[in-house]
Structure 1
C-alpha cells in the first residue's frame, strides 16, 4: 500500500510546478501560493477541530514553528518567482535537490545522522548533476532571466532543507503533524498574500476554469491532503524505505512539463538531472 500511495504523491508533487505555471496568466504565481496556503490553513484548522486537537503557543513550539513558517514561505516565494523566469522542468529538478542539502545539514548537526561512503558518492554525483543542469541554462537560447530562475530553484531547495532540519532539531519533531503543517501554512499565507498585493497581482486576477482547477489542486490535493498523507506514511513505515521514492517526483515533473507545456529538455540538462536523481537515490538508500 505504501508504494502505491508514494507513487500517487510523487505524481501530485511533480505536477505541482506545472499547475502553478499553467495558471500564471490568470493569477500571479505569488498570489497562487498565498491563496492556496490560506485555503489549506482553513482545512487543517477544520481537521484539528473535528479531531478535538488542541493548539497552544506555550508548548515550546511557537518559536521554531514561526521559523519553519518563514522558511516555508520563503521557499515558495522562490518557487513562485522562479517559475516566471524558467521552465517547470528546470524548477522541479533544482527544487528536489533539497534531500542532498538536508542530509549534509543533518550530518553536521545531528550525531546520529553521519553519512556513509555510498551517501557521499551520491552527494558528489548530485552536485555534479546540479552543475551540469545549471550550466545548461547558458546553452543556445538561454537567457540571464532563465538562469536566475534556475538559481531561485536551488535557493528554494536550500530553504526546504533548512525547514526540514529545523523541524528535525527542534520541539516540532515531537509535535503533531497537523500542528507543524499549520505553522508552515499559516505563516506562509500571512506573508505571501500581502506580498502578492504589493506586487500588484491581486488586481490582475482572471479566474478562468484552468485557474480554479489549478488552485483547488494545489490547495486541497497537494498542500493539504498529500502532506498529511506523507506524515501518515512516515508514522507507519521506515522513512528510509519510502523517502527513496522522492527521486520519482522530478522525473514526473519533467515529464509533465514536456507533455503539458511543450518544454524542451536539452541533453546537458537531461544528463545533469539523471545525476541528481541518482544522487538522491544513493543518499536515501540504507
Structure 2
C-alpha cells in the first residue's frame, strides 16, 4: 500500500473517530459557553436581542464565505446549496431563526433563571427525535449520565429568582419550544452533514436564516444602532459573529456529521454551557463561585464521562469512511 493511500486511510479513520467529534463538540461548547458573557456587552444595550442575532448571523456568514473564497470552494458550495436547498431553507428559516425568535420572545415573559434551566432540555429533545424518527435508542449509560448532568445543571443555575407560575407560563412554554427546535436542528442537521461538507451547510443555513431575520429586525429594532458601538461593543459583536457564530456552528456541524455517532452524544456537550458561563462570569464579570455551583460543575463533568462510556458506534465500510473524510477536509 503506497504512502498516499495509507495517509488517506489514517485521515479517514481519524475524521470518523468518536474522539475527533468529541474534541470538536468540546471546542464548540467552550466557545458557545462564553457567548452568554460576551452577549452582556452588547444586549440589551445598544442592541436588542433580535438585532444582536441578526448582526451575529451576518458576521458568521461572512466568516464562512471568506473561508470558502480562500479555499476556492464557492462553486462547490453553490452546487451543494442548490442540491440541499429545501432542507437548508427549512433549517435556516424554520429552525435557526424560529428558535432564536422564540428564545428572545420568551425571555421577556419569564425569568432569566427559568430560561437558563429550561435551555438544558435540548438534549432531551435530541434523544426523543432520534428515538422516534431515526430509531436510535440511547444506551443505559447515556441515560444515567444525563440524569446526573441535570442534577449538576440545577445546582449551578438554581437561585432565589427561579420560579414557575402562571405569570411565567407563556415564557416557559416558549423557551421549551425554542429548545425543542434547537434539538431538532441538531438531529436533522446531522443527517444533511453526512451528505455534504459541513462548511457548506453552515453558510447555507445562515443565508436562509437571514431571509427571516432581516424583516424581523427591520420591524422590531433599530439596525442603525451599530453606529453607536464603542470598542468593547465591537470586540464583543465580532467575537460573537466570527467565533460563536461562524466557526462554532461550523465545528458543531462537523461533529454532527460523523456517521458513527448518534447526535445526542454530541448534543450532550451542551450541558457544559452552564460551566463555561459560570467560569467566564467569574473571570470577566468578577462573579462569585458558590459551593453548590462547584459541586454542579463536578457532577456535569462526571456525567459526560458516564454518558459516553460504551456507546453504540456504527462500523462503516472503508468507502464510506473515505467519502466522509473527503467531505470534512475538502
Q: When the two structures are superposed, what TM-score results if normalisation uses the length of structure 1?
A: 0.75
**Mapped pair 1:211 → 2:233:** yes
Pairing 1:176–2:207 present:
no
Structure 1 position 197, deviation (Å): 1.8
Identify which of 88, 113, 120 aligns with 1:65: 88
Corresponding residue number in structure 2 for 1:110: 134
Kept in 2: contact 1:27–1:204 (CA 8 A): yes
Match status 1:119 vs 2:138: no
Task: Choose the corresponding residue for 1:26, options 46, 50, 54.
Answer: 46
State the number of aligned residues. 281
CA deviation map 1:224-269 (0-9, x unaligned) = 1223334456678975787665432321113334554567899999
In structure 2, distance between residues paired with 1:13 and 1:272: 19
Q: Distance in 2 between matches of 1:210 and 1:147?
A: 36
State the TM-score, normalized to the length of structure 2.
0.66
Matched with 1:250 is 274
Superposed CA deviations along residues 111-137 of structure 1, whole A, max 9, x for unmatched, are: 3x2122333344555677788999857
Corresponding residue number in structure 2 for 1:77: 101
Partners of 1:29 and 1:283 in 2: how far apart?
34
In the TM superposition, 1:263-278 aligns within 5 A as: none
Which structure would you say has the larger Rg? 2
User: Is the CA contact (8 Å cut-off) linking 1:97 and 1:280 kept in structure 2?
Assistant: no
Please say if residues 100 and 280 of structure 1, whose CA atoms lie closer than 8 Å, have aligned partners that are also in contact.
no
Matching residue of 1:186: 207
**Aligned residues of 1:33 and 1:80 also touching (Cα < 8 A):** no
Q: How far did residue 173 of structure 1 move?
A: 3.1
Compared CA separation, residues 6 and 106, structure 1 to 2 (3 A): closer
Pairwise CA distance, 1:12: 1.7
Question: Do the aligned residues in 1 keep the contact of 2:269 with 2:304 (CA within 8 Å)?
Answer: no
Judge conservation of contact 1:98–1:160 (CA < 8 Å) in 2: yes
Aligned-residue RMSD, C-alpha? 4.2
Question: Using the alignment, how far apart are the partners of 2:35 and 2:127 within structure 1?
Answer: 24
| Structure 2 unaligned regions, length at least 5 | 1-18, 312-330
Unaligned runs of 5+ in 1: none
Distance 1:146 1:270 in 2: 28
